[in-house]
Structure 1
Amino acid sequence: MQTTPVEPASGAVSGHAEQALPDRYVDMKRGLTSAQVEERRARFGRNVVDSKARRTWWQTLWEVLHEPMFLLLLAASGIYFVLGDVAEALTLLAFVTGIIFLTVFQSHRTARVLDSLRELSAPRAQVLRDGQRQLVSAAELVPGDVVFVNEGTRVPADGAITEAHELSVDESLLTGESVSVSKSAARASLPPDEDPGEQLFFGSMVVQGQGQMIVTATGPNTTLGRIGKSLTGITEAHSPLQLETRTFVNRFASASIALCVLLVVAYRLRSGEWLSGVLAGITLAMGILPEEIPVILTVFMALGARRIANEGVLTRRMSAIETLGQTSVLCVDKTGTLTQNRMSVRALCARGKLQFIDQSTQHIDETYHELIEYLVLASEIEPVDPMELAFHETGHAGLAGTGRLHGDWTLVREYALTPELPAMSHAWHSPDLGYHTVASKGAPEAVCALCHLGAHETQTVMDQAAQMASNGLRVLGVARARHPPGDWPEKQHDFEFTFVGLVGLLDPVRPEVARAIAECKAAGVRVVMVTGDYPSTARAIAAEVGINVSRIVSGQEMAVMDDSRLRETIGSTDVFARVRPEQKLRLVSAFRESGHVVAMTGDGVNDAPALKAAHIGIAMGLRGAEVAREVASLVLLRDDFAPIVSAIRLGRRIYANLVQAISYTVAVHIPMIAATMLPVLVGWPPMLAPVHIVFLQLVIDPVCSVVFENEPERENLMCVPPRRIGARLLSNRSLTQGAAAGTFAALVVLGVYAGLLSAGYRQPLARTLAFITLVLGNVALIFVIRMLSQPGRRFRACRPNRYLWIVLGVTGVALVLLMTVPAVARLFGLVALLDVGAGV
């Protein structure tokens, strides 16, 4: 059994960290058991440096108590007490309690959604437990866990390195130095206590290679934890929509202050009373103040993010939701996005011969045995990547019993793939040979360069690769070399490689992709394929899924284009092949400068700049590098194309429903303002009191934040062009339509009130009937806004909005109580309609 000692990190802040591992040794073949993990988690807690505590009920309550609406209600209650109207004051306080409860409940509901999304977006770690590799949340790691780290991942805890393959780490978070640091494992020739190997530190980023470590410290006991540095202290900037709504609310508030002062002065001049005038001013302020808008925005974004997560896309930045509906260009990779990322070897080319194989192939000709042998030797020993898994599968199937599978050979040297040389090499030590065997695989042109082939030979290889790629295959070249014992060369070019052959892999297209791309086209969203594969491979796949292949531009062609020429090219090109990762940034910048809203998918370390530059960066959640997920706005919970289209659809729906909610807010406040101001200004008895405004808010708030959020999508949602950049939340047309609808409702309410007063009815009955009309008018505005948002009222019948009918039902019950129960009516200063004689 292979075991490795695990010592606590030096300088641990907690004394019990010294007793972290009483058994001191970890089984490197099986890792910790589930029981050991639970015991250590109970002892050391979660692996979190700076855990932001969830907001408590008391904190939420304290925030509500500071809201302007609540302060206005308290002021109104105080004035009623001063005026001696204790019943009115207590009634108002009872409604205040109800509003507080609803607000706190809604806030916690939203907070729970956001907390669950944060947990989904938390860093993950690949760990060995119970003899199996598992993907777990980094927060669940414990001392003694065997953890695997790869290029592009963030180190999830402090640990001692046990294996390192070309491992290089960026520790600038701890040291401030941007230069990466090479790391090595313990030397097998020395006892572990004499050479424990180097350390990896929580929060550092693996920029090259891969390795294995044993966790020695977690959470506050890590180096990062002792420094007190937080990975979660970054505050997201306000989005354009948040800034726009803030400006909208501020303007509304400024207007309300002016109107309230005017009303107080007018009341004082007409009646000679200050307190009643202040009460009327407070009532007006409550009717004007658009306090629903910040709530609407928060609820829509949080619940919208949950809806998108249910479709398989995690929202890491809420601002991405509002941008989804504007997306006009979607740049996607081929492998794993348009295809299934389930590779299998389908073609072998060696010694001038070509053989196509599939699952039914019973025998692989001996001509290709050497090619498969060196293909396996150039792959990882324990493959994770689908491509290398396919190589090992073909090797075990095709070389069984041939003596070409070398289980007793030892890997002694690795040369990593680089952007400059897209090929990797492995050097092996054999107990029976007097030299080292070197196997290399990579892009055919890179392997030809390593073999120093002449122009004619290189062209022959490239022609054969192009022929294989035209069948939709991904093509790699394979080479071999021998190296005598002694010093190793610094670079792969220093070996004397011999070309062995080509291998073609098939990655089937996902069956749902063609339909999803057709949906994008109907919605005015261009789908652009950006791949590192050959143009012929890209052409075959693009044609199969419905992407325009009239022109294909290669990375080599892009390299000689200036920015102006590239902007012209992207106007007629939807497929870019043989593109290097750093060239993706140029493409994103070119599309942005051309006025497009760009969404970009990526999974590697080198994709991070392009993901960050795109309006919406979309990282692969399963195979993506941690650094790619950190800079992305969205993360695919399953590496697939269809969820991206679903997210765009939902983004459009969320924004359309948000426009309806804000339009309703504008419309519904107009009759409330008119019913509060005009009776005072023209000398009629006041129509509305604060308690009436509170009742109306109990209808308006759920309508804005729940009913419209659950509105089904419009029938033509994905048949219209994307929203243009810079478009306002409420267009002049929407604002005018909402204001006109609200004005009409106000005229009806005031007409009822004035007509009853002029007909000789007493004020209580006139107020009662006018108030009922106002409530019914607010309900009618819901349907008016829905109709205006979609002419013809073409909504999906299969998705009725049950929340609308719940709110309408509750409102109807409340109105019936007001109209039939005298005690309830008196609380509102109204008269029960069953006792109409009292109001005549």
Structure 2
Amino acid sequence: MTRSPSPPEATGSIATHHGLSAAEAARRLAADGPNMLPGSAPKSSWAIVRDVLTEPMFLMLLAAGGIYLALGDRGEALFLLGFVFVVIGITLAQERKTQRALESLRDLSAPRALVIRDGQEQRVAGRDVVRDDLLVLHEGDRIAADALLIDGQLEVDESLLTGEAVPVAKLSVVQNEQTAANAGPPQERPAPLGGSAAHEVASVGALFASTVVTRGVGMARVCATGAQTAVGRIGADLAATTEPPSALQEGSRRLVRNLGIGALVLALAQVLLGWWWNGRPLLESLLSGIALAMAILPEEIPVILTVFLALGAWRIAHQKVLTRRVTAVEALGAITVLAVDKTGTLTVNRMAVAELATPEQHFRPEGASHLPEDFHLLAEFAMLATPGDPFDPMEKAIQHFGHQWLEGTEHVHDGREPEFEYALSGEILAMTRVFASDEPDVHLLATKGAPEAVADLCHLDAVRLGAIRSQVEAMAERGLRVLGVARGRWRGQAPAPDQPPPWPQSQHDFDFDFLGLVALADPPRPEVPAALAECRRAGVRVIMMTGDHPATARAIAQQVGLSDRPDVITGAELEALDDAALAERLRHVDLCARLQPQHKLRLVQLLRASGEVVAMTGDGVNDAPALKAADVGIAMGERGTDVAREAAALVLLDDSFARIVAAIRQGRRIDDNVRKATRFTFAVHIPIIALVLGPTLLKWPTLLMPVHIVLLQLLIDPTCAVVLEAEPEASGSMERPPRPVSDSPFAMGPLLYSVLQGIGMAAVLLAGQAWLADQGWSSAQSRTVVFLTLVLGVMLLILANRDLSRPALLGITAPTPWLWRITAAMLVLLAAVLAIPWLRALMGLVLPGSQGMVVAAGLLVLCLAWLELLRLAGRRLVRPRLPGPALRQ
């Protein structure tokens, strides 16, 4: 049993408060600054440049430039060092693009506050709250600033500040003044955490920024914002907390680190072989070693993951799905189970009373002109059992119905406040409100809740219980949500004139009379059937987890096409099963009803333990643990509480179920593009490595030097970060099963496929070099042909890795704007290198001539043939495997 804080006496009077004007709020915002905690500022351009210059790739580039200067080759040195500035420019552009995407997401995800301005309630960003704003607070809200409660009663979770998990009761200023006289001198009362002058009222009336309202409704006046709040003074560490890297990012970092170590070892071997084995000068051997290290290092991989995940979250926001944690983007493509609530997710969350039933008769509002007298008492006590200004859509519907049909009668009791409340609990799925009556020692009881719980409180005989059960089943099978309503009288004598009676410990200690049933309708969302069908085609199983009656869950599931299986697991049944038995039961059941929050948490944990990747929707304070436990928690943006939104990884801005499916589709697109970029990156590095290392081992003249590799990097980096990121969704992406979690782009299969692509191209290029040398071509001529083929081969690898299901050249028929741009840039760069004499000489190239162009074309055809043979023979290396977790349908 808990005492529930009453809604504020002025809940109706909130409208009488004018609040600040918009102009005054703007003036104070300009004077005090935004209501934000001190945090880390966006990375400056100088910081980005510093990071670029400390990357191993660019340290090697600077070393190569220094060696060229030592060799007296000033032109190549300046050319290399000039490329440093070009790469810095590209990096700055990529960083700014990523930063803008993240800032857009932060603006969307900033906490919202309900304030009164110009006499009207309005939602504003938390950063725009100013001193003396009036905050309207409901259950589940995160308080935007330090404030003083001026109306109502609340319970607030202050564990963020105090570490104490028990919610703290908060009383308004008026109630504080009534108790202050008996509290002793001010210095003897506990001081509020902030310690500011604005908070010199007893701490029971002080509210603090970032704490959470767990119960009640109230209004507060803002005393401090931003850094002046209690949490702001504690320190900036909270705001500076960064998101941990995803598993994919961690895996890529390990891979790059290991390859970096390998690059260092091979580069040293290259230097020693060139110097000792081939008898080259030491400085030339050092240049060759640096070139090899630059060729091996896949420094594009971290860029791919950072840019793809950040821009992916930004793209998902265009689907009206806010990504609060960028790492959730990685999990979207792997979701196998989607656990959804019914109300507001599958339905429109616009409740309306559809039917009333007493033991003798039924009433349906549709087409009726008045409410028969026999139903007045049922409607009256349903209203009394409901807060006057409710937050819950079902309770709003009850109040709306009562005012519509009982207006002007003695059955409407607006402004009548309960003396005591018994809250809904896991033991008793009903709530009771206790009111004073005309008799001093008699109290009136109004109860509503699950029909079976209310009937149990009334101690009905088996015949009455059976009749009520039949009525409930008939209503629930029509998709209606059914509540039982009862009334009672309790005689309790107060121990003293000013003291309340000693309330009984349980609702079972009262005597109730069962009045009847109230059935509410919440129609399904029109877009849900098509979205559910898409989930089935995509191999994503949808499970309904609701607190409603099993028959209601079954009816809605059939209406929207969620499941044809009639079996339902109830909360009571779930508690009686151990984990193994429940896992087996879940294999055959898609509907879970009469669930409590702890039941949802257990189901999510069990599904994850069985190998599923679980996404779950929720909106209430009590849903937060399950949302946090899921791989992808999804909160409702319109009707969800702040606590649910902060626990979730994604927030639906319009609460539409179809948005979840759109986010999964985008997640699969992002996952596909990461794989394309990774395949391309590893494939393109292999021939570069071969053209640096091969001549040393075979005692050939040097083919590629650092200047060539830097030029290639200018083509590879934008291809990875821009072209392949912008790839459209693959056809049939939602017609295939989810990828297994273990199916990483850095797994052996995909990497082997990439390495084979590169090895084939490397073999063609080295064979071409050997043939040209055998034909008596000079080293400059053969280098030109091989380099020309390699640059055009980069384009070939882009086309080959865009879509493994069709020939590479068909990729030209489905271009993206960025593909044309990078192609044009590649051709312009190649033409400039060959056409400008000093640049051609700098790179050790000559004009290829018609013979050279023919040989390059022939080598490209051989490369294309190898890529096509590999595509036909090896697609299974990168094809997603069918998932096989224990709880699949």
Whether the TM-score (by the shorter chain) exceeds 0.5 is yes
d(CA) in 2 for partners of 1:443, 1:735? 57
User: Could you tell me how far 1:428 is from its partner in structure 2?
Assistant: 4.9
d(CA) in 1 for partners of 2:813, 2:489? 68
Q: 1:188 to 1:785 in 2, by over 3 A?
A: closer
User: Could you tell me how far 1:88 is from its partner in structure 2?
Assistant: 1.1
Q: Does 1:48 align with 2:36?
A: yes
Q: Does 1:87 align with 2:99?
A: no
User: Could you tell me how far 1:756 is from its partner in structure 2?
Assistant: 3.0
Question: For structure 1, which segment, 627-636 or 428-437, has the greater mean C-alpha deviation from structure 2 after superposition?
Answer: 428-437
Q: Does 1:208 align with 2:195?
A: no
Q: 1:69 to 1:580 in 2, by over 3 A?
A: same
User: Could you tell me how far 1:437 is from its partner in structure 2?
Assistant: 4.6
Task: Give me the identity figure in percent.
Answer: 46
User: Quick one: which of 146, 150, 153 aligns to 1:158?
Assistant: 146
Cα deviation digits, residues 246-265 of structure 1 (max 9, x gap) = 22212221221122111111
User: Could you tell me how far 1:547 is from its partner in structure 2?
Assistant: 2.2
- Structure 2 runs not aligned, ≥5 long: 1-7, 9-13, 182-200, 495-499, 853-889
User: Could you tell me how far 1:823 is from its partner in structure 2?
Assistant: 3.7
Instruction: Letter of the 2:23 partner, please give it.
Output: A
Aligned residue pairs: how many? 810
User: Quick one: which of 828, 831, 844 aligns to 1:813?
Assistant: 828
Cα deviation digits, residues 267-295 of structure 1 (max 9, x gap) = 21223411111111111111111100000
Instruction: Letter of the 1:534 partner, please give it.
Output: H
Cα deviation digits, residues 484-539 of structure 1 (max 9, x gap) = 79524255445543322211111111111111111111111111111111111011
Partner of 1:121: 109
Instruction: Letter of the 1:168 partner, please give it.
Output: E
Partner of 1:177: 164
d(CA) in 2 for partners of 1:480, 1:310? 50
d(CA) in 1 for partners of 2:566, 2:479? 17
Partner of 2:872: none
Instruction: Letter of the 1:335 partner, please give it.
Output: T
d(CA) in 1 for partners of 2:489, 2:519? 25
DSSP 3-state at the match of 1:658: helix
- Structure 1 runs not aligned, ≥5 long: 5-25
Cα deviation digits, residues 534-556 of structure 1 (max 9, x gap) = 11101100011222223112111
On the 8 A contact 2:801/2:808 being kept in 1, the answer is: no
Q: 1:611 to 1:795 in 2, by over 3 A?
A: farther
User: Quick one: which of 680, 687, 690 aligns to 1:674?
Assistant: 690
Q: Does 1:353 align with 2:369?
A: no
On the 8 A contact 1:680/1:686 being kept in 2, the answer is: yes
Question: For structure 1, which segment, 442-451 or 324-333, has the greater mean C-alpha deviation from structure 2 after superposition?
Answer: 442-451
Taking the TM superposition and a 5 Å limit, the aligned residue runs for 1:5-84 are: 29-84=17-72
d(CA) in 1 for partners of 2:371, 2:65? 89
Partner of 2:467: 460
Taking the TM superposition and a 5 Å limit, the aligned residue runs for 1:520-531 are: 520-531=535-546
Taking the TM superposition and a 5 Å limit, the aligned residue runs for 1:591-602 are: 591-602=607-618
On the 8 A contact 1:741/1:784 being kept in 2, the answer is: no
On the 8 A contact 1:712/1:799 being kept in 2, the answer is: no
Question: For structure 1, which segment, 83-92 or 457-466, has the greater mean C-alpha deviation from structure 2 after superposition?
Answer: 457-466
User: Quick one: which of 361, 365, 371 aligns to 2:378?
Assistant: 371
Cα deviation digits, residues 108-158 of structure 1 (max 9, x gap) = 211221122122222222222222222222222111111122333322221
Taking the TM superposition and a 5 Å limit, the aligned residue runs for 1:683-698 are: 683-698=699-714
Q: Does 1:537 align with 2:552?
A: yes
Q: 1:143 to 1:432 in 2, by over 3 A?
A: farther
Partner of 1:784: 800
User: Could you tell me how far 1:465 is from its partner in structure 2?
Assistant: 1.7
User: Quick one: which of 776, 781, 786 aligns to 1:765?
Assistant: 781
On the 8 A contact 2:15/2:120 being kept in 1, the answer is: no
Q: Does 1:570 align with 2:586?
A: yes
User: Could you tell me how far 1:319 is from its partner in structure 2?
Assistant: 2.5
Q: 1:641 to 1:795 in 2, by over 3 A?
A: farther
Q: Does 1:137 align with 2:125?
A: yes
Taking the TM superposition and a 5 Å limit, the aligned residue runs for 1:300-339 are: 300-339=308-347
Q: 1:543 to 1:192 in 2, by over 3 A?
A: same
User: Could you tell me how far 1:605 is from its partner in structure 2?
Assistant: 2.0
Partner of 1:9: none
d(CA) in 2 for partners of 1:814, 1:224? 55
DSSP 3-state at the match of 1:635: strand
User: Could you tell me how far 1:451 is from its partner in structure 2?
Assistant: 3.3
Q: Does 1:473 align with 2:477?
A: no
Partner of 2:533: 518
User: Quick one: which of 137, 145, 153 aligns to 1:149?
Assistant: 137
Instruction: Letter of the 2:38 partner, please give it.
Output: D
On the 8 A contact 1:821/1:832 being kept in 2, the answer is: no
User: Could you tell me how far 1:792 is from its partner in structure 2?
Assistant: 6.1
On the 8 A contact 1:481/1:497 being kept in 2, the answer is: yes
d(CA) in 2 for partners of 1:517, 1:799? 30
Taking the TM superposition and a 5 Å limit, the aligned residue runs for 1:349-498 are: 349-358=357-366, 360-407=367-414, 409-410=416-417, 412-428=419-435, 437-482=444-489, 486=494, 487-488=500-501, 489=503, 492-498=507-513
DSSP 3-state at the match of 2:734: helix
Q: 1:759 to 1:798 in 2, by over 3 A?
A: closer
DSSP 3-state at the match of 2:174: coil
Q: Alignment RMSD, CA only?
A: 2.8
Partner of 1:291: 299
Question: For structure 1, which segment, 132-141 or 745-754, has the greater mean C-alpha deviation from structure 2 after superposition?
Answer: 745-754
On the 8 A contact 1:31/1:145 being kept in 2, the answer is: yes
d(CA) in 1 for partners of 2:788, 2:168? 74
Question: For structure 1, which segment, 480-489 or 333-342, has the greater mean C-alpha deviation from structure 2 after superposition?
Answer: 480-489
d(CA) in 1 for partners of 2:269, 2:837? 35
Partner of 1:803: 818
d(CA) in 2 for partners of 1:213, 1:831? 78
Q: Does 1:112 align with 2:100?
A: yes
TM-score, reference length from structure 2? 0.86
Question: For structure 1, which segment, 273-282 or 403-412, has the greater mean C-alpha deviation from structure 2 after superposition?
Answer: 403-412
d(CA) in 1 for partners of 2:261, 2:670? 29
d(CA) in 1 for partners of 2:326, 2:844? 44
Q: 1:569 to 1:527 in 2, by over 3 A?
A: same
Instruction: Letter of the 1:236 partner, please give it.
Output: E
Q: 1:133 to 1:421 in 2, by over 3 A?
A: farther
User: Could you tell me how far 1:692 is from its partner in structure 2?
Assistant: 1.2
d(CA) in 1 for partners of 2:667, 2:100? 21
On the 8 A contact 2:479/2:551 being kept in 1, the answer is: yes
Instruction: Letter of the 2:19 partner, please give it.
Output: G
Partner of 2:865: none
Instruction: Letter of the 2:349 partner, please give it.
Output: N
User: Could you tell me how far 1:564 is from its partner in structure 2?
Assistant: 1.5
d(CA) in 2 for partners of 1:60, 1:625? 38
Question: For structure 1, which segment, 241-250 or 74-83, has the greater mean C-alpha deviation from structure 2 after superposition?
Answer: 241-250
DSSP 3-state at the match of 1:187: helix
Partner of 1:223: 230
Q: Does 1:344 align with 2:352?
A: yes
d(CA) in 2 for partners of 1:230, 1:442? 44
Q: 1:189 to 1:442 in 2, by over 3 A?
A: same
User: Could you tell me how far 1:348 is from its partner in structure 2?
Assistant: 1.0
